[in-house]
Every structure is written in C-alpha cells, then in structure tokens.
Amino acid sequence: MKPSRSEFLPIRGLQYHVRHWGQEGAPKIVMLHGWMDVSASFQFVVDSLQQEWHVIAPDWRGFGLTASPGVDTYWFPDYLGDLDALLQHYSPDQPVNLLGHSMGANVAGIYAGVRPERVCKLVNLEGFGLPSSHPKQSPGRYRRWLDELRQPPELRSYGSQTEVAARLQKTNPRLSDQRAEFLSAHWAAPDAAGRWHILGDPAHKQTGPLLFQVEEFLACWKKITAPTLWMEAEDTNVWLWMGAKEEARPEIDRRLAHIPQLQKEMIADAGHMLHHDQPQILARIIEAFLLK
C-alpha cells in the first residue's frame, strides 16, 4: 500500500484531520468521503493511481480523527464551509481537482457550482442527492427532529476488530478480508477495555429538521463550469433512499441533465462503495479524465 501521512490543522474552530498521499508539488486531487466513512476509505483507489499525485483527503467534522463540534444536529452547509477553508489552506491561488463519494460528492457538486472558479475538474462518485421533498412533509419532519432530540442516538460498539471487519462486510459483501481488515482499523478504534467504537459522532444519525430542496441543489449544479465525471455503480443500492428503481432512474437522469459538461461512466460488478469494489477501474477512468 502507498503510505499516507496525517496532518491536523484548525478549521473553523475544529481540529481537522487531513490524510495525504504523494509528494507536495505533485498535481493535487482533493478526495471527500461519504457519510459514516473516513478519509482512509480512498486507500485502494490511491494505490491504483499510476501517475504522481498529491492526494488530500480530510475526515469530515465528527468523523474519523477530526473533532466533533459537540452539537446534537449536523448542518449540511457546514461541510461547504469546511471545504472552502480547506481549499483556501491547501490551494489558495489555483483551482483543484475535486473528487467526492456519496455525501462528499454532494458537497463537492454544490461547492463546484457556488465557487466554480475554485474547481478545475470534478469527479462525482454516486452523489445523487436525496429524494425530492414537498412542503407538506415539513410539520412531520420538525416533529421527528424534536422527538429524536429527547433520545440522543447511539452507535453500537464491537468486541474486536474482527467484528468490525465483519460488520463492514455485511454491508458490502464484495469487500475482501484484507480490505475489510484495513478499513476496520480506520473506521473504528478500541477503548481502554478493548471494545471497538466507530469513529463517528452518533449525532450524525440525528434527523435534520430541514427538507431537501432538490431545485436549489440543481440550481447549484447548473452553475458548475468544471468538466465533470459522473461514476455510478451498476449494482448501486441508491434505490433504497431514492425510491423504486423505475421511479428513481428518470429522476437521476433529470438531475444529471443540469450539469453542463458531463461524462458518464457505469462501473460493472460494483455497489455504492465502488471505490472499494473496483478501485483499479475507477483509478484508470479518473486519471484518463484528469489528464485529458
């Protein structure tokens, strides 16, 4: 495996953990992980890159080794603020190649429309957005949020690293034993008694009170000026949160039509964690896109 190094720096009042691969001075790729994931998740893709790159991958606030703000609700715009501060630190004068997976891709896509001058090329790994909402859902959403505030969420702990690895493989059966062992060591950590705890703030599981406004989301996508690579897994389970496949497919295609310069790729024999399932194919397509 290609070695990584850790850096900690203050970002918007939090101690942020940022993982680096490659030498400073090489072309940059900023990689943004998804919900309930960590920066080390990109190790297998980085290992498969053939060119020299400086890969910069933060742990989002309240994930991995980045501090939690100590809140009971996480607000999506804060990820945009964190990303803006991170890019200002690492590349204040030049636009960057920006890659995101799932939630990280949703952050990257909005950011690329809000600050198009800061993004050279954009790679979206399954950043579909959330299901469309309707104002009539708002009272129930606020009520659910208030109810959940009375009983703060908890995350399950595990008796060993082996149990953590098994949990990862249950979610993604394609994950090999070797990759599951590697990821488990970064996704969780043991306490003094030997129980393993997920490196994620339980508050991330809290339902937010605000509805997803898809047209606002797409208005940002329409402002993207960077060439954009969209990669989707053939066996994605996005239908679980976007609705039935026959309803979700047209909606996804409608959303993608808002991105001005779009290259679409379908990755076979892969699920939502396509960077774990097919890292070699992913790396080859990413490099071809970034270097052309």
- Quick: pLDDT tens for 3-17: 999 999 999 999 999
Give dist(CA 191, CA 19) in Å, integer. Answer: 23
pLDDT for the residue 128: 93
Query: In percent, how much of the chain has pLDDT > 90?
Result: 94
Q: What is the pLDDT of residues 233-270, one digit of tens each?
A: 999 988 777 777 777 888 999 999 999 999 999 999 99
What would the mean pLDDT of 159-180 be, rounded to a whole number?
97
CB atoms within 10 A of CB 246: 8
Angle between helices 103-114 and 214-222 (to 10 degrees): 60
Q: Mean per-residue pLDDT for 39-45?
A: 98
CATH fold of 4-133+213-291 reads: Rossmann fold (3.40.50)
172: pLDDT confidence band, cut at 50, 70 and 90? Answer: very high
Q: Where are the domains of the chain?
A: 4-133+213-291
The contacts of residue 158 (CB under 8 Å, 6+ apart) are 164, 167, 188, 195, 196, 197
Residues 34, 141: Cα–Cα separation, whole Å: 23
Residue matched to tokens 């496949």:
245
Measured distance CA(1)–CA(205) in Å, rounded? 32
